[in-house]
Amino acid sequence: MAKCIMVQGTSSNAGKSVMVAALCRIYSRRGYKVAPFKSQNMSLNSYTTKENGEIAIAQVLQAEAADIEPSIHMNPILLKPKGNFKSQVIIQGKAICDMNFYDYQHDFRQTALEAIKESLAILNEEYDLIFIEGAGSPAEINMREEDLANMEIAHLADADVLLVADIDKGGVFASIAGTFLLLDDYDRKRLKAVIINKFSGNLDILMPGIEKIEKIIEAPVLGVLPYDHSLHLPEEDSASLFEHKFEKNRDITIGVIRLPKIANFTDIDPFEFEDDVGLKLIDINENIKDDELDAIIIPGTRNTVEDMIAIKESGIGDGIKELAKKIPVVGLCGGYQILGKKIFDESNRESPLGTIEGLGLLEIESYFSLDEEKIVQQSEGILVVNYEIGNDGLENNENGIIRGYEIHEGTTELKGSKPLLKLIKGIGNSKNSEFDGAIEGNVFGTYLHGIFHNYNFRRSFLNYIRKQKGLTQKFGDDPYETKKDYSIDKLAQLVENNLNMDFIDDLIEK
């Protein structure tokens, strides 16, 4: 049986995900077989695993930190919010149904718990050490009986718990003391120590408070982690988009349409690692200024039809169509469907509105049907020869293959546009097609999430823009993979340098 250590937080966004990633990197490099685990995650950013199942992107990062392949068993329950208090329920990688929160907690809890137990048992047999991430706060006393993410899992896994507290927003000592106070003795005995996260300032000023809080909670503070804004790691939920500070005033500016139901926005992450590229999030109610943007990306969405309607009603669609005459416009997954002529939803799978018009920038039509299963698939393909953006060709990777993953509902038919990719593996436009995506002049779209994670493809896309602007084209190593791995290593080093690692070692070895 593996030893389990759980990381919980005093609140959402306290730093649980990155702490688990850091611990996975530290102990995997010490020779342990390490795996991450999060029993239940609510996230719009997901990934397709080797089993062609869907898990949250946070567990993918943690698996990467542990130098292992992500698996559905690292996140057996994924809830993807769809609005109106409903979420798509995904169990061990497969979408089961849409369910409101009350019904899920009261009628589906046992089914979810059995899947959690099964996945944890599978990991227990394969790994030496499992770092478990909690969700939100364990002190949600109104929901303790329905808990599937915090103390219930700590008991199930026989895990010691480290509590992470966010000092950046203030009230850190109250949040620590309140968490300990609100837990009953049965749960409180699992809490072994506290970590203070996101600190900026003079540590000497903080020390008297640390000494007092240790006496109050009768547990040690293992250390204080500095807030390092230079770390580049994927964001987990859409709320982070409102807080994230994107770099601006770079040579190239890519506008990203912030759809009301935006999903899988980690597709844009690689651009943040390019030294000359800035990202600008554009609300659909903003006026697009054509002299500010060098390209536009319409990202994924959890409801294509409703977001297309929002685009039309806001008027931003007209601005996008006008800019498509001058600069590249790219649609990813639901954004790809939005670029087409029509979106057919006669069975009202997406909304009660049936068939609607798309932006009409690609000669394609997309279809939703109640009979079609959600597509969750790792995919590979090659760019169709001689299809170009502007006058410069997009490029395959060095091995000739573009890799990505599909997570979508709906299919697409080409009605005049040329396909973007010829698939080696995957579904793409439809089960009856060997192609994915479409391209016309400056405009292209694809179902493949992660397409810009392919360095040669991203580089050729950016070099086209650089050439158009009279800038020097760039080559060399992939800054995304290099800097992301550097960020994980730097995060791990921050933890080792600032926490009492001997205490954690003792928990592992006892």
Residue 398, pLDDT above cutoff 80: no
**Which one is predicted more confidently, 372 or 430?**
430
Pair (438, 331) in one structural domain: yes
Per the CB < 8 A criterion, the answer to whether 328 and 285 are in contact is no
Pair (205, 262) in one structural domain: no
Beta-carbon count within 10 A of 373 CB: 10
Structural domain contains residue 293: yes
Confidence grade of residue 110 (pLDDT, cut at 50, 70, 90): very high
Structural domain contains residue 240: no
- Which of helix, strand or coil describes residue 304? helix
Structural domain contains residue 243: no
Pair (370, 398) in one structural domain: yes
CATH number where 216 lies: 3.40.50.300
Structural domain contains residue 34: yes
Bridging pattern class, strands 129-133 and 34-37:
parallel
Pair (371, 442) in one structural domain: yes
- pLDDT, mean of residues 368-394: 81
The whole-number pLDDT of residue 208 equals 97
Structural domain contains residue 92: no
The whole-number pLDDT of residue 71 equals 98
Q: To the nearest whole percent, how much of the chain has pLDDT over 90?
A: 79
Full residue range of the structural domain in which residue 307 is found: 252-470
The whole-number pLDDT of residue 337 equals 98
Q: What is the pLDDT of residues 153-193, one digit of tens each?
A: 999 999 999 999 999 989 999 999 999 999 999 999 999 99
Q: What is the pLDDT of residues 8-62, one digit of tens each?
A: 999 999 999 999 999 999 999 999 999 999 999 999 889 999 999 999 999 999 9
Q: Find all residues with CB under 8 Å of 110, minimum gap 6, and list them.
A: none
The whole-number pLDDT of residue 396 equals 81
The whole-number pLDDT of residue 259 equals 95
- Phi, psi for 32 (deg, rounded to 5): -80, 150
Q: How many domains does the chain have?
A: 2
Cα–Cα distance, 191 to 295 (Å, whole number): 49
Confidence grade of residue 102 (pLDDT, cut at 50, 70, 90): confident
Q: What angle, 0 to 180 degrees and rounded to 10, lies between the N-to-C axes of helices 203-217 and 172-182?
A: 10
**What mean pLDDT, rounded, does the chain reach?**
92
Sign of CA dihedral 276, 241, 380, 386: negative
- Which of helix, strand or coil describes residue 291? coil
Cα–Cα distance, 34 to 51 (Å, whole number): 19
Confidence grade of residue 382 (pLDDT, cut at 50, 70, 90): very high
The whole-number pLDDT of residue 372 equals 84
The whole-number pLDDT of residue 371 equals 83
Looking at residue 30, its amino acid is: R
Structural domain contains residue 476: no
The whole-number pLDDT of residue 204 equals 94
Tokens of 109: 């809890």
Structural domain contains residue 51: no
Tokens of 42: 């609510």
pTM of the model: 0.90
Pair (317, 224) in one structural domain: no
Sign of CA dihedral 114, 118, 120, 124: positive
Beta-carbon count within 10 A of 154 CB: 24
Residue 63, pLDDT above cutoff 70: yes
The whole-number pLDDT of residue 186 equals 97
Positions marked active-site: 333, 449
Pair (306, 437) in one structural domain: yes
The whole-number pLDDT of residue 229 equals 83
Per the CB < 8 A criterion, the answer to whether 50 and 99 are in contact is no
Residue 269, pLDDT above cutoff 80: yes
Question: Helix count (H) and strand count (E) of the chain?
Answer: 15, 30
- pLDDT, mean of residues 133-143: 95
Pair (306, 445) in one structural domain: yes
Pair (438, 310) in one structural domain: yes
The whole-number pLDDT of residue 386 equals 58
Closest by Cα among 319, 309, 322, 339 to 437 = 339
Residue 412, pLDDT above cutoff 70: yes
Confidence grade of residue 234 (pLDDT, cut at 50, 70, 90): confident
Order across the sheet with 329-332: list the strands. Answer: 277-283, 252-258, 295-298, 329-332, 443-446, 438-440
Pair (164, 116) in one structural domain: yes
**Which one is predicted more confidently, 125 or 237?**
125
Pair (400, 363) in one structural domain: yes
Pair (404, 496) in one structural domain: no
Cα–Cα distance, 481 to 397 (Å, whole number): 14
Confidence grade of residue 244 (pLDDT, cut at 50, 70, 90): low
Pair (176, 272) in one structural domain: no
The whole-number pLDDT of residue 385 equals 65
CATH number where 440 lies: 3.40.50.880
- Which of helix, strand or coil describes residue 426? coil
Alpha-carbon torsion angle 62, 68, 72, 77, nearest 10: -20
Tokens of 236: 């987990």
